[in-house]
Structure 1
């Protein structure tokens, strides 16, 4: 089902069984491009909620879901089973692999890589400019890399070029200034290692992560 109020530009390919809600816009040409210059591909079973805007030149896999008012710029590669929460912004030239979950109002800037199964909490900000608005800042942009199954808690900020290691956990409200080792828990401002993921248990003794 594609709403009659949705706007689909030229050279957009949408797979089987889509649900595209009211006032969604797909295939917006970025600055310097004309309508149809860049191909946009969205796989099967997409659920794109109202007022979401997806620019031209994206390649998006199957079972893609958005919340409302999501903004996705051009040139991204997004895998299967990816979910993007309400009012999240994804800038251009990112890579988002399969089974990634991005919660509401997150910010994912250029050149970030989110690997399989990672989890981005609400209001998380990834950054890519060491010296914002400096004369050569755009020449030295360096995105964040979030490794497989890493989890970043709500309201955390990750500085440019940081790698968040596989299976690690970043506590809510952290400011991460350096790489996070795999399988570690970090928290604070600046974030520091406070434990191992393997040592996290629920109150009843059940292990949090296998």
Structure 2
């Protein structure tokens, strides 16, 4: 495990071979698997599970309720959300679970709404806004994201 001195890692549930770079905050109840690369300027909240061999590029914040399976790529500045009706100082009883399945890739600056499942091997195009579930092995692009083709 390689944790940069300028990160704030409070969790002890981090797998072997994982690197966490500078200016990343990982809260105490987060789980991160083995051989992950968590790039600079990120935030990982408490109720988060990240699998093995996951790459999270810079500028990504992973909120409560996000589940990321193995071999997932998350591009720079991907935006996850976990509350459909956010209000200041008003919180839902529980956050919707968003699941990124094994081998999926999410392009830079994509936005993922809460409660979405991105299927195995799916690819989300850069800048896409994902408003509904994405089937396995498909490419989606646009706002709102629509299926471009199967892969």
Sort the TM-score into its range (normalised by shorter chain): over 0.9
Tell me, yes or no, if the aligned pair for 1:107 and 1:126 is still in contact at 8 Å: yes
- Pairs within 5 Å for 1:1-210: 46-55=1-10, 57-133=11-87, 137-197=91-151
| Separation in structure 2 between the aligned mates of residue 168 and residue 105 of structure 1, nearest angstrom | 22
| Separation in structure 2 between the aligned mates of residue 66 and residue 140 of structure 1, nearest angstrom | 28
Q: Deviations over 1:138-189 (max 9, x none)?
A: 2141132100000000001100000000000000001100000000000101
C-alpha root-mean-square deviation of aligned residues, in Å?
A: 1.4
Segments ≥4 residues shifted beyond 2 Å: 134-138
Deviation at residue 50 of structure 1 after TM alignment? 3.3
| Separation in structure 2 between the aligned mates of residue 50 and residue 193 of structure 1, nearest angstrom | 42
Tell me, yes or no, if the aligned pair for 1:59 and 1:77 is still in contact at 8 Å: yes
Number of paired residues? 151
| Separation in structure 1 between the aligned mates of residue 42 and residue 114 of structure 2, nearest angstrom | 19
TM-score w.r.t. the length of structure 1 is 0.69
Local SS of the residue matching 2:64: coil
Between structure 1 and structure 2, the one with the greater Rg is 1
Instruction: Point out which structure has higher relative CO (alpha carbons under 8 A, 6+ apart).
Output: 2
Q: Deviations over 1:88-140 (max 9, x none)?
A: 11111111111111001111100110001011000001111011127864214
Q: Structure 2 unaligned runs (5+)?
A: none
